[in-house]
Chains A and B, each alone.
Chain A
Amino acid sequence: MRLKDGEERLRKTKVKARLIQRRMPKLSVEERIRGFNEVALGYTCEQAVTEAKRCLQCKEPKCVEGCPVEVNIPDFIKLISESKFEDAIKKIKEKNSLPAMCGRVCPQENQCMGRCILGKKGEPINIGALERFVADYELEKGVRVPNVAVSTGRKIAVVGSGPAGLTAAAELAKLGHKVTIFEALHSPGGVLSYGIPEFRLPKEIVEAEVNYVRLLGVELETDVIVGKTVTLEELFENGFDAVFVGTGAGLPSFLGVPGENLCGIYSANEFLIRVNLLKAYRFPEYDTPVKVGEKVVVVGGGNVAMDAARSALRLGAKVSVVYRRTEKELPARLEEVENAEKEGVQFLFLANPVRFIGGARGWVKQVECVRMRLGEPDASGRRRPIPVKDSSFLIDADTVIVAIGQKPNPLAVRSTKKIELTRHGTIVVNPETQETSMKGVYAGGDITAGDATVISAMGAAKKAAKAIHRYLMGTDR
């Protein structure tokens, strides 16, 4: 029924050249690889309005179903098409407190945009670019302080200031609760600030959106490690009525092959923390060094691998990504893979490191790989890579970055026995409420789901916020 509705509209409007997406301008490749400036430049007002006018305004929009935080997409797009940019951002912020970030890093092609009816016959609406456009528009004009509910007198601690923590905090503050975020690192944002590079998500944008959460009345304390500086139990003793744990991914995974501890082999986490959080790309103006040789090998095929590869490239290296499956199975966003390719990152598919070989002073010199072939699909539905016998070969490398995922952060949860964990170390939660086995403690994001996306973490955090609100207000009555 719904599909028919859309298809009929489509027929009527074919003449309007609705099928072609307005491309978002990008920096030229030459400009990109010289520095860490943002690659995607964002729409102009005109481009945004033109793109917004393509929207079919479906009565039962598929795009909203694809959005983990249920942004009212057709409504905000309609407002953009009428040049009502301030109303458009207000509409988004009813559901999403971090639109400038989501517009940039959400995998829209698998979510809202992936379901757009226009995509069936032509190109879907570039929803991310439109979201980003109005979010940036507001940041430029000055952010309005939103209305929050009357104070409930309830205090909530949020552990971690990544996408999950910021979202939970914002939602709870809007409902009138007093929220304090505790962040272990020296600057807020979690993966948005230590993980995703400047050229994909400028830190100025992260700061601006963190600031918006502060404007909602949320307090933020950095340099506090829950589980070490203060325990979860103590948070309750100190007067908090509920806790949301959004401590994210932590321990990096390694391949577990010989030679992995040679000098010059980084986890993607370490490499990106040095470059993004501690600004090693501006060493020695900043004190933190990063060692990038002439030849860098990045192991893995996810977004983190692309971020690491493109960062290393900007630091002057020749970069190869080694991935054990084929291009088709790359978990990274297509757009990021294309960006990486255009910038000059080489890809070596169906290959897997089996050993790192050291040279002088314990430094990595070569990577021994084996060829892989794809077998039957595994539990994840992807075809399982199988090593090809006697197929090993060597690649030269001065630096290796291992980007094959990470395990949940152990610190907050290791400090108490009351929180039940899965055998993978993630927190067990009730999927309806995100409630943990410890009374009054809720969790969401990578600490419950494992390696996932920014927006799925935000979706879980919103669900948790609603449940915390019910929990606190329910016991009140």
Chain B
Amino acid sequence: MNGFEVLEKEELAPGIKLLAVSAPLIVKKARAGQFIVVRVDEKGERFPLTLVDWSLDEGSVTVVFQEVGVSTKKLGMLKVGDHIMDVVGPLGNPAEIKNYGEIAVVGGGVGVAAAYPRIKALKEAGNRVTSIIGAKTSNLIIFEGEIGKLSDELHVSTDDGSKGFKGFTSTVLQNLLDQGRKFSYVFAVGPAPMMKAVAEVTRPHGIHTVVSLNPVMVDGTGMCGGCRVAVGGETKFACVDGPEFDAHLVDFNELLARLNTYVEQEQKAMCALKGR
């Protein structure tokens, strides 16, 4: 009941932090594609974070997050030696890792970190991996070195053109396809509009495309139904049925609306946090 100790902390980019947390039971089960649910302190929210890395030797799991709301801000304030009150997992189904052949992995924003364990596992499974990573601007690009080392080919894009291609990751993918490149599998993780764009790029080519969704989630164990998404006209729970789904079947417009459910409350909570 002492919580889960922060063993390592690093600021990867302004507002984007990495934490390695002691979780000896979870690490034994961790697989690419899974996530944990954390609650920072007694008054905290429960929220999901994708497992980015894990070490059996150290009994730790690594997560990367962007400080966008109260909970991630609070998490970012923890120092090495501090404890996260609750960490549970690993949750969600592991990614379907196999040798697809020639594949592309697209990561955007903080989602680039979530792409990393998949790239690692997909590479180990024998795939030829083309990685496309992107962010708003050059200093927000994370995991470039790690992903570059693993990938057969790496493309970087920024919205403002301060690094690599000027534009979206989905455009980079579009350009590769236009050049006649063939992919048998595309995986995308990042902001919902980015995943939606990737789905539209691959749809006309009929490429099997998988996205990892990060909807609003409370318990993460299938109890609340808050993370429900429409997939192929059926309601699915991202926590127990996902988090990975066929990109061509996901109703992204609904997902985008649902992600904005608590915009006003987030603002109120941020004001309260600053006042604390």
Contact = CB atoms under 8 A, between A and B. Distances in A.
A291 B261 contact: yes
A186 B46 contact: yes
Interface string B259-276: 011100110110111000
Contact of A287 (B43, B86, B223): B43
Nearest to A247: B221
Contact of A270 (B29, B224, B253, B266): B224
Q: Is the interface of A mostly helix, strand, loop or mixed?
A: loop
B269 A250 contact: no
Interface in A356-382: 361-363
Interface stretch (A67-75, A223-231, A344-352): A223-231
Interface string B69-102: 0110010000000000111111100000000000
Given A284-B272, A287-B45, A270 B225 contact: yes
B235 interface: yes
A208 interface: no
Contacts of B273: 284
Interface string A251-267: 11010100011111011
Nearest to B240: A410
Nearest to B257: A362
B128 interface: no
A211 interface: no
A252 B224 contact: yes
Contacts of B246: none
B265 A263 contact: no
Nearest to A231: B29
Interface residues of A, number: 43
Interface in A449-475: none
B226 interface: yes
Interface string A266-278: 1101100110001
A250 B89 contact: no
A38 to B, nearest CB: 22
A194 to B, nearest CB: 8
Interface string B239-264: 01000000000000110111011100
A285 B268 CA distance: 10
B265 A269 contact: no
B269 A287 contact: yes
Contacts of A410: 222, 240
A238 B260 CA distance: 44
B86 A186 contact: yes
Given A251-B240, A263-B257, A362-B258, A186 B85 contact: yes
13 contacts: A186-B46, A224-B88, A225-B91, A229-B25, A229-B29, A229-B88, A261-B228, A262-B257, A266-B225, A291-B262, A361-B257, A362-B256, A409-B222
